[in-house]
Structure 1
Amino acid sequence: MGTDITPTQQMLASCSGAVVTSLLVTPLDVVKIRLQSQTAANVNKCFLYCNGLMDHLCVCMNGNGKEKWYRRPGQFSGTFDAMIKITRYEGISSLWSGLSPTLVMAVPATVLYFTSYDQLKSRLQSRYGNTLFIPAIAGGVARTGTATIISPLELIRTKMQSRPLTYQEVASVIRQSVQQSGLRSLWTGWVPTILRDVPFSMFYWFSYELIKQKLSFDNLFLKSFLSGFTAGAIATVITHPMDVTKTRRQIALGEKVFGVSSSTPMNTFAVLRDVVNNNGLRGIFSGLLPRLAKIGPACAIMISSYEFGKRFFRDYNHIGSLNNDNNSDNVGALNKSFKT
């Protein structure tokens, strides 16, 4: 038996990484949204919840939204103050509000993405050699496949948030959508997702593998953490204009699904042009620092947990391989003794 890990073990490693990332990063995004809610004027429409692994479109309109934690009155002076007051008056569990949709959708998506990336990278390297462009290609292809598979599920979940629906009613809504607009309607919002997530993935994996090679120390966890943090920051800065566009399009899509009028254009490049016309070039980099503060740590936690999980399974397989070899040697010695 070899000492490499199986696809199932890769899935388990990425699953553990996704769960750890969700648990650690979700409180930061809950605090961010609560801080925004005490000053924002349009909180009763639709908002985008993102915890570093996946975006979630949520509805809070006319006082009937499911995300009640978002509508609670906030009297917070900053991030630390919000954490203290939320914990004191609402209980520490309130910091993990919104965790359920992450565990239901983001974790499987992350497992699919990381496992696909590793499998593609391994196959490409065995055929074309170990070049830095292979991680970028594997990351882009893996993200495209994952986004394509998950996109219809995201749309279904968004429709279910508009009002309580049974699964039969959801199926009816989807059937009507397909009859009216064709199968392409199930992938509404796919284009802006691809325009942001695929370049992000390519820049991230290219930077991650390059930085990891340059770091000379042997501590795998620390090396992965630093490489993941830096690579995530680089990819975030480069792709932020498309993130601004994607966020506005997702919110416009959500308001359309929820029956709320929206002035945001639904064409990706029209949204980008609208942002530049109204806010200038600075507008396409609005919110960069909060996103950096979230995505950098999320990338670092995810990749270091994933690499640690893979190392665990490699060591496990290696020990199993040694035990099998020892057993074979013992059997051979016994056979030899019987013959003599």
Structure 2
Amino acid sequence: MSGDKKPSVYKNFLIGGAAGMFATSCIQPIDFVKVQLQIKGEGQKGVKSSPITIARETIAKYGVRRLYTGLDSALLRQATYTTARMGIYKTMMDWGNEKYNNRVPVWLKGAFSLAAGGLAAIVGNPADLSLIRMQSDHTLPPEKRRNYTGVGNALTRIVREEGTLALWRGCTPTIARAMSLNFGMLGPYDQAKEVLQKQFGNFTGIGPASSFIAAFFACVFSLPFDNVKTKFQKMIKGPDGQYPYKSFGDCFTKSLKSEGPLGLYVGFFTYVTRIAPHVIITLLTTDFLNSRFNK
């Protein structure tokens, strides 16, 4: 992520977005299964579902294509969210490397990670909202399904039926999740590379080793927020005309009360299987593209 040469700012954003879109194309089926696990566990203690079972049942009932539900939304999210977070972070790091002679303090890397994640989450929330709704639509009763035909249809209908600001419903948990994920992903990746280089010098496995470390921290920090975000964004009005959760805090509190603390980590191994490869592919692809286009 860091380097001796300062690249053009626009390349930071293009490279980050391209890396995120490539990673998403690879892991979209895993993300679909992760969302189904979180939905099945909502409001219930001790309910366990196997990701393999969910994948098998989905394929048997709907076909393999169902695992790619919301891919257009996911790619749009990467084109907005990941383009922004990777571009902002890399641009901040370029400034930091220049100011601190390629020795950016670890606290500043953390601050850059948090800022990039929070700002990017605001940009990417509309696409993220449509993705969650498309992936969870088939779990609703037929009369309550939205039946979006694609990301464009989802976005236009949300604006028409619920108002423009509805595109940012769940923005608070999205920001919290993005900040926690980026805090565990971006800063630790650069810090791990710096420490490993200092201890062992340059070796071919430094990038993969650092990306594994970053992926672990990203998963642990972000899953509780991701769980709450999924519930908040896919909710529909009840018979009384009210949404089940009034706010992010209300959703978080009710989840703790009804499912217990471990409920926030439901689907942990599926989440790791989904997030870790995405983090690793994104980081390594970003490094590869930076080495090719920022010479």
Moved more, 19-28 or 299-308: 19-28
Compute the displacement of 1:20 (Å): 2.3
Secondary structure in 2 aligned to 1:264? Answer: coil
Does residue 10 of the first structure (1) align with residue 8 of the second (2)?
no
Alignment size in residue pairs: 268
Q: What is the TM-score normalised by the length of structure 2?
A: 0.71
Does residue 79 of the first structure (1) align with residue 52 of the second (2)?
yes
- Which whole-Å CA distance do the structure 2 matches of 1:31 and 1:40 have between them? 11
Segments of 5+ residues of structure 1 without an aligned counterpart are 43-76, 318-340
Does residue 197 of the first structure (1) align with residue 178 of the second (2)?
yes
Moved more, 289-298 or 266-275: 266-275
Superposition pairs of residues 1-340 of structure 1, within 5 angstroms: 3-30=5-32, 79=52, 86=59, 90=63, 96-127=68-99, 130-152=104-126, 154=128, 162=146, 174=159, 186-215=167-196, 216=200, 218-219=202-203, 222-252=205-235, 255-256=236-237, 264-314=244-294, 317=295
Secondary structure in 1 aligned to 2:246? Answer: coil
The Cα offsets for residues 38-67 of structure 1, whole Å up to 9 and x where unpaired, read as: x9599xxxxxxxxxxxxxxxxxxxxxxxxx
The Cα offsets for residues 6-46 of structure 1, whole Å up to 9 and x where unpaired, read as: 22333342233123212221233345568x59x9599xxxx
The Cα offsets for residues 260-301 of structure 1, whole Å up to 9 and x where unpaired, read as: 967732322222222222222222222222212211111011
Given residue 118 of structure 1, which amino acid in structure 2 is its aligned partner? K
Which structure has the bigger radius of gyration? 1
Given residue 303 of structure 1, which amino acid in structure 2 is its aligned partner? L
Q: Say what the alpha-carbon RMSD is for the aligned residues.
A: 4.2
- Which whole-Å CA distance do the structure 1 matches of 2:161 and 2:52 have between them? 44
CA contact (8 A) 1:23 1:96 kept: no
The Cα offsets for residues 208-266 of structure 1, whole Å up to 9 and x where unpaired, read as: 1221123235345x4223222221211321333222222221222xx24x999677323
Change (3 A) 1:168 1:147: closer
Compute the displacement of 1:307 (Å): 0.5
The Cα offsets for residues 294-332 of structure 1, whole Å up to 9 and x where unpaired, read as: 111110111001101101113xx3xxxxxxxxxxxxxxx
- Which whole-Å CA distance do the structure 2 matches of 1:159 and 1:94 have between them? 14
- Which whole-Å CA distance do the structure 1 matches of 2:155 and 2:272 have between them? 36
Change (3 A) 1:108 1:201: same
- Which whole-Å CA distance do the structure 2 matches of 1:107 and 1:235 have between them? 20
- Which whole-Å CA distance do the structure 2 matches of 1:259 and 1:289 have between them? 35
Change (3 A) 1:112 1:33: closer
The Cα offsets for residues 134-173 of structure 1, whole Å up to 9 and x where unpaired, read as: 22111211122212223345557889993569x8997797
- Which whole-Å CA distance do the structure 2 matches of 1:94 and 1:280 have between them? 31
- Which whole-Å CA distance do the structure 1 matches of 2:127 and 2:271 have between them? 25
